[in-house]
Structure 1
Amino acid sequence: MKEQRFDMWAAGDAYERYMGRWSRLVADGFVASLSCADGLRWLDVGCGTGALTAAVAARCRPRMVVGLDRSAGFVVSARAAAPASACFVVADALSLPVRDEGCDVAVSGLALNFLSEPGAAVAEMARVVRPGGLVAAYVWDYAEGMAFLRHFWDAAVAVEPSAAALDEGRRFLVCRPDPLRALWTEAGLVDVAVAPIEVPTVFAGFADLWEPFLAGQGPAPGYVAALAPTTRDRLRDTLGEAVPTRHDGSIAFTARAWAVQGSRPA
Protein backbone atom coordinates (compact mmCIF):
# COMPACT_ATOMS: atom_id res chain seq x y z
CA MET A 1 0.00 0.00 0.00
CA LYS A 2 1.27 3.45 -0.85
CA GLU A 3 1.97 5.34 2.40
CA GLN A 4 -0.89 7.71 3.21
CA ARG A 5 -2.22 9.63 6.19
CA PHE A 6 -5.72 8.99 7.47
CA ASP A 7 -5.95 11.63 10.21
CA MET A 8 -9.58 12.55 9.61
CA TRP A 9 -11.23 14.39 12.49
CA ALA A 10 -14.59 15.90 11.59
CA ALA A 11 -17.59 13.90 12.85
CA GLY A 12 -18.17 14.33 16.55
CA ASP A 13 -20.52 11.36 17.03
CA ALA A 14 -18.11 8.93 15.39
CA TYR A 15 -15.22 10.27 17.44
CA GLU A 16 -17.17 9.84 20.68
CA ARG A 17 -17.66 6.11 20.04
CA TYR A 18 -14.08 5.56 18.91
CA MET A 19 -12.05 7.70 21.34
CA GLY A 20 -14.27 10.23 23.09
CA ARG A 21 -15.42 7.85 25.82
CA TRP A 22 -11.79 7.35 26.86
CA SER A 23 -10.71 10.95 26.31
CA ARG A 24 -13.35 12.09 28.81
CA LEU A 25 -11.85 9.85 31.49
CA VAL A 26 -8.32 11.10 30.94
CA ALA A 27 -9.49 14.75 30.74
CA ASP A 28 -11.00 14.49 34.20
CA GLY A 29 -7.82 13.01 35.65
CA PHE A 30 -5.70 15.65 33.96
CA VAL A 31 -7.72 18.61 35.28
CA ALA A 32 -7.74 17.15 38.78
CA SER A 33 -3.93 16.97 38.68
CA LEU A 34 -3.55 20.70 37.91
CA SER A 35 -4.96 21.95 41.24
CA CYS A 36 -5.93 25.34 39.81
CA ALA A 37 -7.88 28.00 41.70
CA ASP A 38 -11.45 28.96 40.86
CA GLY A 39 -12.30 32.00 38.76
CA LEU A 40 -9.53 31.75 36.17
CA ARG A 41 -9.66 32.38 32.42
CA TRP A 42 -9.00 29.15 30.51
CA LEU A 43 -8.17 28.39 26.87
CA ASP A 44 -8.56 24.83 25.51
CA VAL A 45 -6.50 24.48 22.33
CA GLY A 46 -7.59 21.69 19.97
CA CYS A 47 -10.73 21.17 22.03
CA GLY A 48 -12.27 18.48 19.80
CA THR A 49 -15.74 17.56 21.02
CA GLY A 50 -15.22 19.40 24.29
CA ALA A 51 -14.14 16.70 26.77
CA LEU A 52 -11.40 18.80 28.36
CA THR A 53 -13.49 21.98 28.28
CA ALA A 54 -16.28 20.18 30.12
CA ALA A 55 -13.86 18.85 32.75
CA VAL A 56 -12.50 22.37 33.35
CA ALA A 57 -16.03 23.74 33.72
CA ALA A 58 -17.04 20.96 36.13
CA ARG A 59 -13.97 21.01 38.36
CA CYS A 60 -12.52 24.53 38.28
CA ARG A 61 -15.41 27.02 38.34
CA PRO A 62 -13.70 29.10 35.64
CA ARG A 63 -14.44 32.74 35.06
CA MET A 64 -14.53 31.69 31.42
CA VAL A 65 -13.31 28.82 29.27
CA VAL A 66 -12.92 29.04 25.50
CA GLY A 67 -12.42 25.95 23.33
CA LEU A 68 -10.70 26.29 19.96
CA ASP A 69 -10.52 23.67 17.20
CA ARG A 70 -9.83 23.79 13.48
CA SER A 71 -12.60 21.22 12.82
CA ALA A 72 -15.94 22.95 12.38
CA GLY A 73 -17.69 19.59 12.87
CA PHE A 74 -16.06 19.09 16.25
CA VAL A 75 -16.93 22.63 17.32
CA VAL A 76 -20.59 21.98 16.46
CA SER A 77 -20.54 18.84 18.62
CA ALA A 78 -18.81 20.66 21.47
CA ARG A 79 -21.34 23.49 21.43
CA ALA A 80 -24.24 21.06 21.57
CA ALA A 81 -23.15 19.81 24.98
CA ALA A 82 -21.41 22.95 26.23
CA PRO A 83 -21.66 24.02 29.87
CA ALA A 84 -22.88 27.56 30.48
CA SER A 85 -19.38 28.89 31.24
CA ALA A 86 -17.89 27.67 27.93
CA CYS A 87 -17.82 28.94 24.38
CA PHE A 88 -16.24 27.45 21.27
CA VAL A 89 -14.52 28.92 18.21
CA VAL A 90 -13.13 27.48 14.98
CA ALA A 91 -9.47 28.51 15.01
CA ASP A 92 -5.94 27.31 14.28
CA ALA A 93 -3.72 26.24 17.18
CA LEU A 94 -0.70 27.68 15.38
CA SER A 95 -2.19 31.18 15.31
CA LEU A 96 -4.42 31.66 18.33
CA PRO A 97 -6.93 34.52 18.06
CA VAL A 98 -6.10 35.65 21.59
CA ARG A 99 -4.17 38.72 22.73
CA ASP A 100 -0.88 38.42 24.60
CA GLU A 101 -1.40 37.50 28.27
CA GLY A 102 -5.13 37.13 27.60
CA CYS A 103 -5.74 34.10 29.85
CA ASP A 104 -4.53 32.47 33.04
CA VAL A 105 -4.35 28.84 31.87
CA ALA A 106 -3.87 27.35 28.39
CA VAL A 107 -4.42 23.61 28.03
CA SER A 108 -4.57 21.08 25.22
CA GLY A 109 -5.85 17.53 25.22
CA LEU A 110 -4.75 14.80 22.77
CA ALA A 111 -4.06 17.32 20.00
CA LEU A 112 -0.32 18.03 19.80
CA ASN A 113 0.53 14.97 17.71
CA PHE A 114 -1.91 16.02 15.01
CA LEU A 115 -0.43 19.50 14.54
CA SER A 116 2.11 20.18 11.81
CA GLU A 117 4.25 22.25 14.21
CA PRO A 118 3.62 21.25 17.83
CA GLY A 119 6.44 23.50 19.04
CA ALA A 120 4.79 26.51 17.44
CA ALA A 121 1.50 25.62 19.13
CA VAL A 122 3.15 25.44 22.56
CA ALA A 123 4.84 28.79 21.92
CA GLU A 124 1.43 30.26 21.08
CA MET A 125 -0.03 28.86 24.29
CA ALA A 126 2.85 30.40 26.25
CA ARG A 127 2.26 33.74 24.54
CA VAL A 128 -1.38 34.00 25.53
CA VAL A 129 -1.02 33.20 29.24
CA ARG A 130 -0.15 35.89 31.77
CA PRO A 131 3.23 35.85 33.56
CA GLY A 132 3.01 33.06 36.10
CA GLY A 133 0.22 31.44 34.11
CA LEU A 134 0.04 27.73 33.43
CA VAL A 135 0.49 25.89 30.10
CA ALA A 136 -0.41 22.20 30.24
CA ALA A 137 -1.32 19.37 27.88
CA TYR A 138 -1.58 15.61 27.55
CA VAL A 139 -1.17 13.13 24.70
CA TRP A 140 -1.80 9.42 24.40
CA ASP A 141 1.25 7.22 24.79
CA TYR A 142 0.84 5.71 21.33
CA ALA A 143 4.21 3.97 21.49
CA GLU A 144 3.59 1.82 24.56
CA GLY A 145 0.50 2.82 26.50
CA MET A 146 -2.54 2.34 24.24
CA ALA A 147 -3.19 -1.40 24.47
CA PHE A 148 -6.23 -1.61 22.19
CA LEU A 149 -4.44 0.35 19.47
CA ARG A 150 -1.31 -1.77 19.90
CA HIS A 151 -3.39 -4.89 19.26
CA PHE A 152 -5.04 -3.21 16.27
CA TRP A 153 -1.80 -2.22 14.54
CA ASP A 154 -0.13 -5.54 15.29
CA ALA A 155 -3.08 -7.25 13.59
CA ALA A 156 -2.98 -4.79 10.69
CA VAL A 157 0.72 -5.43 10.10
CA ALA A 158 0.14 -9.19 10.25
CA VAL A 159 -2.43 -8.83 7.46
CA GLU A 160 -0.67 -6.12 5.48
CA PRO A 161 2.98 -5.40 6.47
CA SER A 162 2.96 -1.95 4.84
CA ALA A 163 0.51 -0.82 7.54
CA ALA A 164 3.51 -0.43 9.88
CA ALA A 165 4.21 2.98 8.38
CA LEU A 166 0.81 4.23 9.59
CA ASP A 167 1.11 3.03 13.20
CA GLU A 168 0.71 6.05 15.54
CA GLY A 169 3.37 4.57 17.80
CA ARG A 170 5.90 4.98 14.99
CA ARG A 171 4.56 8.18 13.46
CA PHE A 172 4.05 10.39 16.47
CA LEU A 173 7.25 11.44 18.21
CA VAL A 174 5.59 13.69 20.78
CA CYS A 175 4.07 10.90 22.85
CA ARG A 176 6.82 10.29 25.40
CA PRO A 177 8.09 12.28 28.41
CA ASP A 178 11.39 13.56 27.00
CA PRO A 179 9.98 15.12 23.79
CA LEU A 180 7.15 16.73 25.76
CA ARG A 181 9.55 18.16 28.32
CA ALA A 182 11.71 19.52 25.51
CA LEU A 183 8.75 21.25 23.84
CA TRP A 184 7.84 23.04 27.07
CA THR A 185 11.42 24.04 27.83
CA GLU A 186 12.01 25.33 24.30
CA ALA A 187 8.90 27.52 24.66
CA GLY A 188 10.54 29.26 27.63
CA LEU A 189 8.32 27.66 30.26
CA VAL A 190 9.67 26.86 33.72
CA ASP A 191 8.98 24.34 36.48
CA VAL A 192 8.20 21.78 33.79
CA ALA A 193 6.86 18.43 34.98
CA VAL A 194 5.66 15.31 33.15
CA ALA A 195 3.49 12.57 34.68
CA PRO A 196 1.42 9.59 33.44
CA ILE A 197 -2.37 9.30 33.59
CA GLU A 198 -3.88 5.84 33.16
CA VAL A 199 -7.53 5.04 32.52
CA PRO A 200 -9.40 1.76 31.96
CA THR A 201 -10.65 1.01 28.44
CA VAL A 202 -13.18 -1.78 28.84
CA PHE A 203 -15.19 -2.99 25.84
CA ALA A 204 -18.48 -4.85 26.27
CA GLY A 205 -17.46 -7.34 23.60
CA PHE A 206 -15.55 -7.60 20.35
CA ALA A 207 -18.20 -5.67 18.42
CA ASP A 208 -17.78 -2.77 20.85
CA LEU A 209 -14.06 -2.79 20.07
CA TRP A 210 -14.25 -3.36 16.31
CA GLU A 211 -17.21 -1.29 15.13
CA PRO A 212 -15.72 2.13 16.05
CA PHE A 213 -12.83 1.32 13.71
CA LEU A 214 -15.39 1.38 10.84
CA ALA A 215 -16.38 5.04 11.39
CA GLY A 216 -13.43 6.66 9.62
CA GLN A 217 -12.43 9.10 12.40
CA GLY A 218 -8.72 9.06 13.18
CA PRO A 219 -5.68 7.23 11.75
CA ALA A 220 -6.71 3.64 12.48
CA PRO A 221 -10.38 3.96 11.39
CA GLY A 222 -9.26 5.94 8.34
CA TYR A 223 -6.93 3.11 7.41
CA VAL A 224 -9.75 0.57 7.82
CA ALA A 225 -12.07 2.64 5.63
CA ALA A 226 -9.51 2.54 2.80
CA LEU A 227 -9.17 -1.26 2.81
CA ALA A 228 -10.79 -3.59 0.33
CA PRO A 229 -13.67 -5.52 1.97
CA THR A 230 -11.83 -8.85 1.93
CA THR A 231 -8.75 -7.32 3.58
CA ARG A 232 -10.95 -5.57 6.14
CA ASP A 233 -12.54 -8.90 7.01
CA ARG A 234 -9.13 -10.53 7.43
CA LEU A 235 -8.07 -7.70 9.74
CA ARG A 236 -11.24 -8.10 11.80
CA ASP A 237 -10.70 -11.83 12.19
CA THR A 238 -7.00 -11.45 13.02
CA LEU A 239 -7.74 -8.84 15.66
CA GLY A 240 -10.57 -10.94 17.11
CA GLU A 241 -8.24 -13.89 17.55
CA ALA A 242 -5.56 -11.78 19.24
CA VAL A 243 -7.41 -9.75 21.87
CA PRO A 244 -7.85 -11.25 25.36
CA THR A 245 -11.54 -11.88 26.07
CA ARG A 246 -12.87 -12.38 29.60
CA HIS A 247 -15.40 -15.08 30.53
CA ASP A 248 -18.31 -12.63 30.11
CA GLY A 249 -17.14 -11.64 26.60
CA SER A 250 -15.75 -8.25 27.64
CA ILE A 251 -12.27 -7.03 26.71
CA ALA A 252 -10.35 -5.01 29.30
CA PHE A 253 -7.33 -2.84 28.51
CA THR A 254 -5.76 0.29 29.95
CA ALA A 255 -4.73 3.48 28.17
CA ARG A 256 -1.93 5.77 29.28
CA ALA A 257 -1.49 9.43 28.51
CA TRP A 258 1.49 11.63 29.35
CA ALA A 259 0.65 15.00 30.90
CA VAL A 260 3.04 17.94 30.87
CA GLN A 261 2.80 21.31 32.54
CA GLY A 262 4.94 24.40 33.00
CA SER A 263 4.58 28.06 33.89
CA ARG A 264 5.34 31.24 32.03
CA PRO A 265 8.10 33.04 33.94
CA ALA A 266 6.74 35.76 36.22
Structure 2
Amino acid sequence: MTSSFNVQSAAGYEQLMGRWSRQLAPPFIDFAGLADGERVLEVGCGTGSLTFALPHAANVSEITAIDFSPVFVEATMRGNTDPRIKVQQADACALPFADGSFDRALALLVLHFVPEAGKAVAEMRRVVRPGGVVAAAVWDHLGGMPGMRMVLDTAAVLDGNADRVRSRYCFQPMMRPGEMMQSFVANGLTDVRQTSLLIRMDYLSFADFWEPIAAGEGPLGKYVAGLDADQRAKVDAAIRAAYEAGQPDGPRSFAAVAWACRGIVPKA
Protein backbone atom coordinates (compact mmCIF):
# COMPACT_ATOMS: atom_id res chain seq x y z
CA MET A 1 0.00 0.00 0.00
CA THR A 2 1.43 3.41 -0.95
CA SER A 3 -1.35 5.63 0.40
CA SER A 4 -3.58 5.17 3.43
CA PHE A 5 -5.87 8.12 2.58
CA ASN A 6 -9.51 7.19 2.05
CA VAL A 7 -10.93 9.13 -0.92
CA GLN A 8 -14.51 8.82 -2.15
CA SER A 9 -14.72 11.76 -4.56
CA ALA A 10 -12.80 14.87 -5.55
CA ALA A 11 -15.72 17.08 -4.50
CA GLY A 12 -15.89 15.43 -1.08
CA TYR A 13 -12.14 15.88 -0.59
CA GLU A 14 -12.45 19.55 -1.53
CA GLN A 15 -15.01 20.11 1.22
CA LEU A 16 -13.05 18.03 3.72
CA MET A 17 -9.50 19.24 3.06
CA GLY A 18 -8.88 20.84 -0.34
CA ARG A 19 -10.13 24.25 0.74
CA TRP A 20 -7.75 24.19 3.69
CA SER A 21 -4.72 22.91 1.75
CA ARG A 22 -5.23 25.88 -0.59
CA GLN A 23 -4.83 28.16 2.43
CA LEU A 24 -1.75 26.25 3.56
CA ALA A 25 -0.06 26.28 0.14
CA PRO A 26 1.21 29.92 0.15
CA PRO A 27 2.94 29.80 3.57
CA PHE A 28 4.35 26.39 2.67
CA ILE A 29 5.79 27.82 -0.57
CA ASP A 30 7.26 30.75 1.38
CA PHE A 31 8.99 28.29 3.71
CA ALA A 32 10.08 25.84 0.99
CA GLY A 33 11.28 28.55 -1.37
CA LEU A 34 10.74 28.82 -5.11
CA ALA A 35 12.61 30.57 -7.93
CA ASP A 36 11.94 31.57 -11.52
CA GLY A 37 12.90 28.98 -14.11
CA GLU A 38 12.85 25.99 -11.77
CA ARG A 39 11.65 22.49 -12.60
CA VAL A 40 9.39 21.44 -9.71
CA LEU A 41 8.08 18.03 -8.72
CA GLU A 42 4.98 17.90 -6.54
CA VAL A 43 4.50 14.57 -4.79
CA GLY A 44 0.84 13.93 -3.94
CA CYS A 45 -1.01 16.70 -5.76
CA GLY A 46 -4.52 15.88 -4.48
CA THR A 47 -6.93 18.19 -6.28
CA GLY A 48 -4.21 20.72 -7.13
CA SER A 49 -4.06 23.09 -4.15
CA LEU A 50 -0.27 23.42 -4.29
CA THR A 51 -0.02 22.64 -8.01
CA PHE A 52 -1.98 25.69 -9.06
CA ALA A 53 -0.44 27.98 -6.41
CA LEU A 54 3.14 27.39 -7.61
CA PRO A 55 2.93 29.36 -10.90
CA HIS A 56 1.60 32.36 -8.97
CA ALA A 57 4.61 32.33 -6.62
CA ALA A 58 7.35 32.22 -9.28
CA ASN A 59 7.76 31.95 -13.04
CA VAL A 60 8.69 28.28 -12.93
CA SER A 61 9.64 26.49 -16.16
CA GLU A 62 7.70 23.29 -15.47
CA ILE A 63 5.70 21.52 -12.78
CA THR A 64 5.28 17.76 -12.68
CA ALA A 65 2.48 16.78 -10.30
CA ILE A 66 1.96 13.14 -9.31
CA ASP A 67 -0.55 11.34 -7.15
CA PHE A 68 -1.25 7.70 -6.34
CA SER A 69 -5.02 8.18 -6.59
CA PRO A 70 -6.56 8.19 -10.08
CA VAL A 71 -9.40 10.27 -8.61
CA PHE A 72 -6.99 13.06 -7.73
CA VAL A 73 -5.01 12.79 -10.98
CA GLU A 74 -8.18 13.15 -13.02
CA ALA A 75 -9.41 16.10 -10.92
CA THR A 76 -6.12 17.99 -11.22
CA MET A 77 -5.86 17.32 -14.94
CA ARG A 78 -9.43 18.56 -15.38
CA GLY A 79 -8.66 21.78 -13.50
CA ASN A 80 -5.38 22.52 -15.29
CA THR A 81 -5.07 25.26 -17.91
CA ASP A 82 -1.30 25.88 -17.64
CA PRO A 83 0.87 24.12 -20.28
CA ARG A 84 3.80 24.10 -17.85
CA ILE A 85 1.89 21.70 -15.55
CA LYS A 86 1.98 17.97 -16.28
CA VAL A 87 -0.03 15.55 -14.13
CA GLN A 88 0.39 11.79 -13.90
CA GLN A 89 -0.33 8.81 -11.68
CA ALA A 90 2.76 7.60 -9.79
CA ASP A 91 3.97 6.05 -6.54
CA ALA A 92 5.76 8.39 -4.10
CA CYS A 93 7.99 5.48 -3.06
CA ALA A 94 9.05 4.64 -6.64
CA LEU A 95 9.13 7.90 -8.58
CA PRO A 96 9.40 7.29 -12.35
CA PHE A 97 12.03 9.97 -12.92
CA ALA A 98 15.79 9.98 -13.43
CA ASP A 99 18.21 11.11 -10.73
CA GLY A 100 18.55 14.89 -10.49
CA SER A 101 15.60 15.64 -12.79
CA PHE A 102 14.20 18.53 -10.71
CA ASP A 103 15.34 21.66 -8.90
CA ARG A 104 12.82 21.18 -6.12
CA ALA A 105 10.52 18.42 -4.82
CA LEU A 106 7.58 19.37 -2.63
CA ALA A 107 4.95 17.34 -0.76
CA LEU A 108 2.04 19.12 0.94
CA LEU A 109 -0.10 17.05 3.35
CA VAL A 110 1.04 13.78 1.82
CA LEU A 111 3.83 12.00 3.73
CA HIS A 112 1.67 11.10 6.74
CA PHE A 113 -0.48 9.00 4.40
CA VAL A 114 2.51 7.11 2.97
CA PRO A 115 3.19 4.04 5.15
CA GLU A 116 6.84 3.99 4.02
CA ALA A 117 7.24 7.75 4.38
CA GLY A 118 11.03 7.59 4.75
CA LYS A 119 11.24 5.84 1.39
CA ALA A 120 9.27 8.68 -0.18
CA VAL A 121 11.72 11.21 1.28
CA ALA A 122 14.61 9.19 -0.18
CA GLU A 123 12.93 9.18 -3.58
CA MET A 124 12.35 12.95 -3.46
CA ARG A 125 16.02 13.44 -2.62
CA ARG A 126 17.08 11.15 -5.48
CA VAL A 127 15.19 13.02 -8.19
CA VAL A 128 16.38 16.50 -7.07
CA ARG A 129 19.67 17.85 -8.38
CA PRO A 130 22.61 18.57 -6.06
CA GLY A 131 21.96 21.92 -4.41
CA GLY A 132 18.22 21.58 -4.92
CA VAL A 133 15.52 21.55 -2.24
CA VAL A 134 13.25 18.88 -0.77
CA ALA A 135 10.36 20.16 1.39
CA ALA A 136 7.24 18.69 2.93
CA ALA A 137 4.46 19.49 5.38
CA VAL A 138 2.09 17.25 7.36
CA TRP A 139 -0.67 18.06 9.81
CA ASP A 140 0.07 17.80 13.53
CA HIS A 141 -2.88 15.53 14.26
CA LEU A 142 -2.01 15.04 17.93
CA GLY A 143 -1.66 18.63 19.08
CA GLY A 144 -2.53 20.89 16.18
CA MET A 145 -5.93 19.79 14.85
CA PRO A 146 -8.53 20.52 17.55
CA GLY A 147 -11.48 20.23 15.18
CA MET A 148 -10.56 16.71 14.14
CA ARG A 149 -9.55 15.74 17.70
CA MET A 150 -13.00 16.89 18.79
CA VAL A 151 -14.49 14.21 16.54
CA LEU A 152 -12.25 11.38 17.73
CA ASP A 153 -12.21 12.32 21.41
CA THR A 154 -16.01 12.50 21.41
CA ALA A 155 -16.32 9.20 19.55
CA ALA A 156 -13.88 7.50 21.94
CA VAL A 157 -16.22 8.19 24.86
CA LEU A 158 -19.02 6.34 23.07
CA ASP A 159 -17.15 3.64 21.16
CA GLY A 160 -14.19 1.63 22.41
CA ASN A 161 -13.07 0.96 18.84
CA ALA A 162 -12.45 4.69 18.38
CA ASP A 163 -9.44 4.46 20.70
CA ARG A 164 -7.49 2.51 18.07
CA VAL A 165 -8.60 4.86 15.32
CA ARG A 166 -7.52 7.85 17.39
CA SER A 167 -4.10 6.35 18.07
CA ARG A 168 -3.50 5.65 14.38
CA TYR A 169 -4.73 9.11 13.44
CA CYS A 170 -2.58 10.98 15.97
CA PHE A 171 0.62 9.07 15.24
CA GLN A 172 0.67 8.70 11.49
CA PRO A 173 4.13 8.83 9.86
CA MET A 174 6.14 12.04 10.26
CA MET A 175 3.78 13.55 12.87
CA ARG A 176 5.83 13.28 16.05
CA PRO A 177 7.89 16.39 16.90
CA GLY A 178 11.18 16.23 15.01
CA GLU A 179 10.29 12.98 13.20
CA MET A 180 10.25 14.48 9.71
CA MET A 181 13.46 16.40 10.39
CA GLN A 182 15.16 13.18 11.51
CA SER A 183 14.03 11.44 8.32
CA PHE A 184 15.39 14.25 6.15
CA VAL A 185 18.77 14.03 7.89
CA ALA A 186 18.80 10.22 7.75
CA ASN A 187 18.20 10.40 4.00
CA GLY A 188 21.24 12.59 3.43
CA LEU A 189 19.71 16.07 3.20
CA THR A 190 21.67 18.95 4.69
CA ASP A 191 20.80 22.33 6.21
CA VAL A 192 17.56 20.75 7.41
CA ARG A 193 15.08 23.13 9.02
CA GLN A 194 11.66 22.57 10.57
CA THR A 195 8.88 24.97 11.48
CA SER A 196 5.13 25.08 12.20
CA LEU A 197 2.57 26.60 9.84
CA LEU A 198 -0.80 27.83 11.13
CA ILE A 199 -4.07 28.41 9.33
CA ARG A 200 -7.66 28.52 10.52
CA MET A 201 -10.46 26.25 9.33
CA ASP A 202 -13.66 28.31 9.22
CA TYR A 203 -16.97 26.48 8.89
CA LEU A 204 -20.37 27.97 8.10
CA SER A 205 -22.31 25.40 10.13
CA PHE A 206 -22.18 21.90 11.56
CA ALA A 207 -23.32 20.55 8.18
CA ASP A 208 -20.40 22.30 6.49
CA PHE A 209 -18.05 20.65 8.98
CA TRP A 210 -19.62 17.19 9.13
CA GLU A 211 -20.92 16.40 5.62
CA PRO A 212 -17.68 15.14 4.03
CA ILE A 213 -16.79 13.06 7.11
CA ALA A 214 -20.33 11.64 7.24
CA ALA A 215 -19.97 10.75 3.54
CA GLY A 216 -16.89 8.64 4.31
CA GLU A 217 -14.09 10.98 3.21
CA GLY A 218 -10.64 10.71 4.79
CA PRO A 219 -9.56 8.63 7.80
CA LEU A 220 -12.30 9.96 10.07
CA GLY A 221 -14.91 9.35 7.39
CA LYS A 222 -13.73 5.77 7.00
CA TYR A 223 -14.26 5.23 10.73
CA VAL A 224 -17.73 6.82 10.71
CA ALA A 225 -18.79 4.82 7.67
CA GLY A 226 -18.03 1.59 9.55
CA LEU A 227 -20.39 2.30 12.45
CA ASP A 228 -23.74 0.50 12.73
CA ALA A 229 -26.88 2.62 12.53
CA ASP A 230 -27.45 2.98 16.30
CA GLN A 231 -23.83 3.84 17.06
CA ARG A 232 -23.72 6.19 14.12
CA ALA A 233 -26.75 8.12 15.39
CA LYS A 234 -25.16 8.49 18.85
CA VAL A 235 -21.82 9.63 17.42
CA ASP A 236 -23.47 12.10 15.04
CA ALA A 237 -25.51 13.66 17.85
CA ALA A 238 -22.57 13.86 20.27
CA ILE A 239 -20.27 15.48 17.72
CA ARG A 240 -22.96 17.97 16.76
CA ALA A 241 -23.25 18.90 20.46
CA ALA A 242 -19.46 19.26 20.70
CA TYR A 243 -19.39 21.48 17.62
CA GLU A 244 -22.22 23.68 18.85
CA ALA A 245 -20.78 23.81 22.42
CA GLY A 246 -24.05 25.01 23.92
CA GLN A 247 -24.72 27.73 21.37
CA PRO A 248 -26.95 27.75 18.26
CA ASP A 249 -25.54 26.10 15.17
CA GLY A 250 -23.56 28.44 12.94
CA PRO A 251 -20.02 29.50 12.06
CA ARG A 252 -17.10 28.03 13.99
CA SER A 253 -13.34 28.48 13.56
CA PHE A 254 -10.64 25.95 14.43
CA ALA A 255 -6.89 26.44 14.36
CA ALA A 256 -4.91 23.94 12.26
CA VAL A 257 -1.14 23.47 12.60
CA ALA A 258 1.19 21.65 10.23
CA TRP A 259 4.79 20.57 10.68
CA ALA A 260 6.96 21.73 7.75
CA CYS A 261 10.48 20.64 6.93
CA ARG A 262 13.01 21.49 4.19
CA GLY A 263 16.51 20.33 3.33
CA ILE A 264 19.17 20.65 0.63
CA VAL A 265 20.50 17.88 -1.58
CA PRO A 266 24.26 17.99 -0.97
CA LYS A 267 26.62 18.83 -3.80
CA ALA A 268 29.23 16.26 -4.72
Q: Please state which band the TM-score falls in when normalised by the shorter chain.
A: over 0.9
- 178-187 or 235-244, larger mean C-alpha shift: 235-244
| Count of residues in Structure 1 that have an aligned counterpart in Structure 2 | 262
Residue 33 (structure 1) shift: 2.2
Distance 1:10 1:185 in 2: 35
2:56 maps to 58
Q: Secondary structure at the match of 2:80?
A: coil
- Structure 1 residues 244 and 254: CA distance shift in structure 2, 3 A: farther
Instruction: Check conservation: 1:57, 1:83, Cα contact below 8 A.
Output: no
What is the CA–CA distance in structure 2 between the aligned matches of 1:169 and 1:89, rounded to whole Å? 28
What code does the residue aligned with 1:25 have? Q
Residue aligning to 2:145: 146
Q: Which residue of 1 aligns with 2:115?
A: 116
Contact 2:22 2:50 in 1 (8 A): yes
Normalization by structure 1: what TM-score?
0.93
Partner of 1:228: 228
Distance in 2 between the 1:123 and 1:148 partners? 32
The answer to whether 1:39 aligns with 2:37 is yes
Whether 2:136 is the aligned partner of 1:107: answer no
Aligned twin of 1:24:
22
Offset from partner CA, 1:174-193 (integer Å, 9 cap, x none): 11331011110011000000
How far the C-alpha of 1:10 sits from its partner, in A, is: 5.0
Q: Using the TM superposition, give the Cα deviation of residue 8 of structure 1 relative to its aligned residue in structure 2, in angstroms.
A: 1.5
> How much identity, in percent, do the aligned residues show?
37
**What's the counterpart of residue 257 of structure 1?**
258
How far has the Cα of 1:212 moved from its partner?
Answer: 1.4
Q: Which residue of 1 aligns with 2:91?
A: 92
Kindly state the Cα deviation for residue 244 of structure 1 after the two structures are TM-superposed: 5.0
Work out whether residues 10 and 72 of structure 1, in 8 Å CA contact, stay in contact via their aligned partners in 2. Answer: no
One-letter identity of the residue aligned with 1:237: A
* Counterpart residue identity of residue 183, structure 2: L
Q: CA RMSD in A?
A: 1.7
Shift of 1:83: 4.1
1:13–1:59 CA distance, 2 compared to 1 (3 A): same
SS at match of 2:6: coil
TM-score by length of structure 2 reads 0.93
What stretches of structure 2 of length at least 5 have no aligned partner? none
Question: For the structure 1 residues 230 and 10, does the alpha-carbon distance in structure 2 shift closer, same or farther, using more than 3 Å as the test?
Answer: closer
State the partner residue of 2:205. Answer: 205
SS at match of 1:130: strand
Counterpart residue number, 2:182: 182
Deviations 1:87-119 (A, max 9, x none): 100000111011100000001011111112111
Give the Å deviation of 1:248: 7.4
- Contact 1:54–1:83 (8 Å) recurs in 2: no
What is aligned with 2:10? 12
- Cα drift, residue 34 of structure 1: 2.6
Q: Secondary structure at the match of 2:50?
A: helix
| SS across alignment from 2:161 | helix
What is the rounded CA distance, in whole Å, between the counterparts of 2:183 and 2:249 in structure 1? Answer: 44
Tell me, which stretches of 5 or more residues in structure 1 are unaligned? none
Would you say the 8 A contact 1:6–1:220 is kept in 2?
no
- The one-character-per-residue Cα deviations of 1:192-216 (angstroms, maximum 9, x if unpaired) are 0001111110111111111111222
